Amino acid sequence: SVDKKWWKESVVYQIYPRSFMDSNGDGIGDLQGIISKLDYLKTLGIDVVWLCPVYESPNDDNGYDISNYQGIMHEFGTMTDWEELLEGLHQRGMKLIMDLVVNHSSDEHHWFVESRKSKDNPYRDYYVWRPGKNGEAPNDWGSFFSGPAWQYDATTDEYYLHIFSKKQPDLNWENPKVRREVYDMMTWWLDKGIDGFRMDVINLISKAPGLPSMKDGGDGPRFINGPRVHEFIQEMNREVLSKYDIMTVGETLDVTPEDVIKYAGTDRHELNMVFQFELMGIDSGPSGKWEVTPWKLTDFKKIISKWQTSLEGKAWNSIYLNNHDQPRLLSRFGNDKEYHNKSAKMLATMLHTLQGTTYIYQGEEIGMTNVRFDTIEEYRDIETLNRYQECIDQGQEPSEVMESIYAKGRDNARTPMQWTGNHPHAGFTTGTPWLTVNPNYPEINVERALADEDSIFHYYQKLIRLRKQHDVIVYGAFELLNADDEQVFAYTRTFGEERLLIILNFYDKPARFEWNWSKVEAISGERTAELLISNYDIPASEDVRQVDLRPYEARVYKLS
């Protein structure tokens, strides 16, 4: 009775093109660079590539500020290169999903160039313009990238809304013409043969009527999960998505499982799944992501169990542990020093054995880590640079600000992909990279990973293969076994007669895991446990009823 879908069975690999592979020595990753690595992706075994924005852009936010939705960024190549990429993926049996960034455009998009000219310009209402209030911004909304979310424009003596940088004005989704433009553009890409979209901050597109201030009481929606958001997405589904066999994943900030069941519920005709961020907030304090806070495994398990169980049979999870906006998973949840290999495999074991579509971010499969550049001058990310300036202006110690950037800055994920150990810049470019390569590339690189049977890469490869062999890995229901244990995360996955037992030691200390074996007997009457994968050698004779785990040990058993 289970609802089988190719996008549930898929493993997605996220490419941040600027940092993946540079083919022409200008220091910037590009489409031909990606094309040269398609066999690498095929070897890993992934099914789908999610390509971060490659559209024309002045790159205020590395392509998330789009000036032409139907053109390719010159630094990345041409439309012909892009077509070659799509064909190269399809020939190898892989799919391509594109980033859809339509909460905002670039201020250099011709719609905005027109819009700002006069109050009666035909494009005026493509964006959100308001007069000031007593010489100040129309309301108190703040930008995600520091400062107010409004920019004054002298030409018409009004302000425009920008929830991200001031070069990313928000599109006005209340205007049916804007929605039509977006749907036509999506159709144009789908007709070129792409296999779906990842939708940037899609739950921000509907703003509360009257744009009420945050401080004006009530906690009604302002611009997150706004009043018309489901109407808009259902319209998009009707007009565009429903006509194709594609996958869609929405990026949704600040959502509960109830919200997600609305965005991605089986009967909702909206999206296939979303990215939610609850786990990504586990090491942040009340003031937000920069307030680095220790996390506890019991809370970590609580968050995962909550999402695994509350979406069961109702919606579908996206499983990821990092992306281009987040720190590297290994530096954050594992141990990027003495247990680099073991802890990366332990986290990978979890990533691939939770219920949901699996997402791998480039470099994760070789255990790339966070980076610590000496000075702020080496950083490139607009969020990081704005935040640094804001803190310095407020009188904070530079060294203190740098520590939070080392832990949370987005450039951690954006340092160039480490291909080789003995070429300058890790073989990413023959020129000067746009962002400095992580100095650990002589140890951590693809060349070395491919040559080493015991590498993180080969472990990912094995996990991906297992997904293709065991339906229970994709479809099994999740059950947490040990909510109160601060060191071990253990759970089962059950699909009909099939059951998996997953045991993960999250720390560098040994641990014992004991389990109530009668549960297994209850489902099958048998007592066999077949080891499917582990990051240590395990004697065949070992008794699964009482498992002694070494640092960061991970095991997956198939019970029958």
Any idea which residues carry the catalytic annotation?
Answer: 200, 251
**Under rule CB under 6 A, residue 321 binds ligand ISL:** no
* Binding residues among 20-59 for ligand ISL as defined by CB under 6 A: none
Asked whether the beta carbons of 250 and 276 are under 8 A apart, the reply is no
* Binding residues among 371-430 for ligand ISL as defined by CB under 6 A: 383, 410
Which of 40, 144, 517, 536 touches ligand ISL by CB under 6 A?
144
Quote the least distance from Cβ 147 to ligand ISL, whole Å: 14
Query: How many residues bind to ligand ISL according to rule CB under 6 A?
Result: 14
> Could you give the 3-state DSSP secondary structure of residue 9?
helix
Nearer Cβ to ligand ISL, position 342 or 410? 410
> Could you give the 3-state DSSP secondary structure of residue 514?
strand
Q: Could you tell me the two tokens for 556?
A: 């997956």
Which of 22, 60, 325, 364 touches ligand ISL by CB under 6 A?
325
Q: Which residues contact 539 (CB under 8 A, 6 or more apart)?
A: none
One-letter amino acid identity for 498? Answer: E
Q: Which does 283 bind (CB under 5 to 8 A by kind): ligand ISL, Ca ion, none?
A: none
Quote the least distance from Cβ 477 to ligand ISL, whole Å: 29
Report the alpha-carbon distance of residue 235 to residue 231 in Å, rounded.
Answer: 6
Which of 214-222's residues contact partners 24+ apart within 8 Å by CB, and which partners?
214/139, 214/140, 214/141, 215/140, 222/141
How crowded is residue 508: how many other Cβ atoms within 10 Å of its Cβ? 15
Alpha carbon dihedral 64, 69, 70, 76, in 10-degree steps, equals -10
Q: Which does 22 bind (CB under 5 to 8 A by kind): ligand ISL, Ca ion, none?
A: Ca ion
Measured in degrees and rounded to the nearest 5, phi and psi for residue 227 equal: -60, -30
Query: How many residues bind to Ca ion according to rule CB under 5 A?
Result: 5
Nearer Cβ to ligand ISL, position 193 or 285? 285
Report the alpha-carbon distance of residue 44 to residue 38 in Å, rounded.
Answer: 10
Measured in degrees and rounded to the nearest 5, phi and psi for residue 482 equal: -140, 70
Nearer Cβ to Ca ion, position 26 or 181? 26
Place of tokens 């050698």: 537
**Under rule CB under 5 A, residue 22 binds Ca ion:** yes
Half-sphere exposure of 457 (CA within 13 A, CB side): 21
Quote the least distance from Cβ 134 to Ca ion, whole Å: 49
Q: Residue of minimal CB distance from Ca ion?
A: 30
Q: Name the DSSP letter for residue 124.
A: G
Q: Which does 164 bind (CB under 5 to 8 A by kind): ligand ISL, Ca ion, none?
A: ligand ISL
Q: Which does 121 bind (CB under 5 to 8 A by kind): ligand ISL, Ca ion, none?
A: none
The pairing of beta strand 284-285 with beta strand 273-275: unpaired
Q: Name the DSSP letter for residue 388.
A: H
Q: How far apart are the first and last CA of the chain?
A: 22
The pairing of beta strand 546-549 with beta strand 477-480: unpaired
**Under rule CB under 6 A, residue 197 binds ligand ISL:** no
Q: Which does 475 bind (CB under 5 to 8 A by kind): Ca ion, ligand ISL, none?
A: none
Q: Could you tell me the two tokens for 250?
A: 């929405």
Asked whether the beta carbons of 493 and 549 are under 8 A apart, the reply is no
**Under rule CB under 6 A, residue 101 binds ligand ISL:** yes
By CB atoms closer than 10 A (0-12, 13-18, 19+), residue 154 is exposed
**Under rule CB under 5 A, residue 24 binds Ca ion:** yes
Closest CA to 303 of 356, 256, 260, 266: 256
Site mask for Ca ion (CB under 5 A), range 252-271, x = bound: --------------------
**Under rule CB under 5 A, residue 26 binds Ca ion:** yes
Which of 201, 233, 249, 304 touches ligand ISL by CB under 6 A?
201
Quote the least distance from Cβ 524 to ligand ISL, whole Å: 43
Nearer Cβ to Ca ion, position 426 or 544? 426
**Under rule CB under 6 A, residue 64 binds ligand ISL:** yes
Quote the least distance from Cβ 76 to Ca ion, whole Å: 8
Nearer Cβ to Ca ion, position 24 or 560? 24
Written as one string, the DSSP assignment of 51-66 is EPP-EE---SSTTSS-
* Binding residues among 233-272 for ligand ISL as defined by CB under 6 A: 251, 253
Q: Which does 410 bind (CB under 5 to 8 A by kind): Ca ion, ligand ISL, none?
A: ligand ISL
Nearer Cβ to Ca ion, position 88 or 476? 88
Q: Which does 26 bind (CB under 5 to 8 A by kind): Ca ion, ligand ISL, none?
A: Ca ion
Closest CA to 231 of 278, 197, 269, 265: 269
Nearer Cβ to ligand ISL, position 200 or 259? 200
Binding region for Ca ion (CB under 5 A): 22, 24, 26, 28, 30
Binding region for ligand ISL (CB under 6 A): 61, 64, 101, 144, 164, 200-201, 251, 253, 289, 324-325, 383, 410
